[in-house]
Amino acid sequence: MRQPMVAGNWKMNGSRKANEGLLAEVREALSSPVEAEVVVCPPYVYLPQVAGLVDGSAVRLGAQDVSDQDSGAYTGEVSGEMLKDVGCRYVIVGHSERRGLYAEDDAFTARKFAAARRHGLKPILCVGELLEERESGVTEQVVARQLDAVMDLEGVESLKDAVVAYEPVWAIGTGKTATPGQAQAVHAFIRARVAERDAGVAEGLRILYGGSVKADNAQELFSQPDIDGGLIGGASLKAADFMAICRAAVPAD
């Protein structure tokens, strides 16, 4: 049985004060535990602060990105070793905002995935199609290409300690959520694609859905057989909404 996961991607939001308030509310809410593994991914500069704020709680720390390099003359970059050093367990790689706004392609994303693993971090690999790709019927080809880039470089076994997040780009921050049926179809495709290489890895792989998940649509999405939780942007910045989403994530029968 796969333990569900709900990860909050704060994107470029937060302040020391806001983070304190948010995590105090989350911790309070977690005095009534949830079945999902709960992860928060603040901006780099707040990782040490948030590591302290979640210490002793069930909340895990993740980063939003990682360098493909390990150390040296890479101004502005942050390595996997540094993320591990400040307490991260997870790191998002290949978010569509990195792919789209910063021209990070499949090969580069795969190298970041590899860098995360070299330092004992669990990557949350984001895949997903643009609106025009969905409309022209190539969603599966796009997702397969993104997934294969990682499996070709690191091997299917590397997904044992990773999480995949299906995030249709047209649904991120737009208020347009994929229907549970649309999301389930792609999640099943992802699991089948991995199963072509290793059925056991595919069965154990947690596949999160991301894209305008809210407290009122989470339950229906998460009840689909191949949806193991969510990667949450906007709604992760409000404790009540985030916790309602976390409570909606329960293991499939």
13/19 Cα distance (integer angstroms)? 9
Count residues near ligand PEP (CB under 6 A). 14
Each residue 166-185 as x (binds ligand PEP by CB under 6 A) or -, in order, gives: -x----xx------------
Q: Nearest-CA neighbor of 239 among 24, 7, 15?
A: 24
Q: Please report whether residue 213 would count as binding ligand PEP according to CB under 6 A.
A: yes
Among the residue ranges 74-82, 114-122, 208-216, 244-252, the one whose residues contact ligand PEP (CB under 6 A):
208-216
CB 231 within 8 A of CB 242: no
Among the residue ranges 18-26, 185-193, 217-225, 230-238, the one whose residues contact ligand PEP (CB under 6 A):
230-238
Instruction: Please state the separation of Cα 162 from the chain's center in Å.
Output: 10
Among the residue ranges 39-47, 49-57, 186-194, 206-214, the one whose residues contact ligand PEP (CB under 6 A):
206-214
159: left (phi over 0), alpha (psi -120 to 50) or beta: alpha
Q: Of 201 and 229, which CB lies nearer to ligand PEP in the complex structure? A: 229
Q: Of 62 and 80, which CB lies nearer to ligand PEP in the complex structure? A: 62
Among the residue ranges 113-121, 136-144, 226-234, 242-250, the one whose residues contact ligand PEP (CB under 6 A):
226-234
Q: How far is the CB of 15 from ligand PEP (least distance, A)?
A: 19
Q: How far is the CB of 63 from ligand PEP (least distance, A)?
A: 14
Binding residue for ligand PEP, selected from 79, 158, 212, 217, defined by CB under 6 A: 212
Q: Please report whether residue 234 would count as binding ligand PEP according to CB under 6 A.
A: yes
Q: Please report whether residue 124 would count as binding ligand PEP according to CB under 6 A.
A: no
Binding residue for ligand PEP, selected from 231, 243, 245, 249, defined by CB under 6 A: 231
Q: Nearest-CA neighbor of 143 among 89, 99, 190, 96?
A: 190
CB 209 within 8 A of CB 220: no
229/38 Cα distance (integer angstroms)? 10
Residues in contact with ligand PEP by the rule CB under 6 A: 9, 11, 167, 172-173, 210-213, 231-235
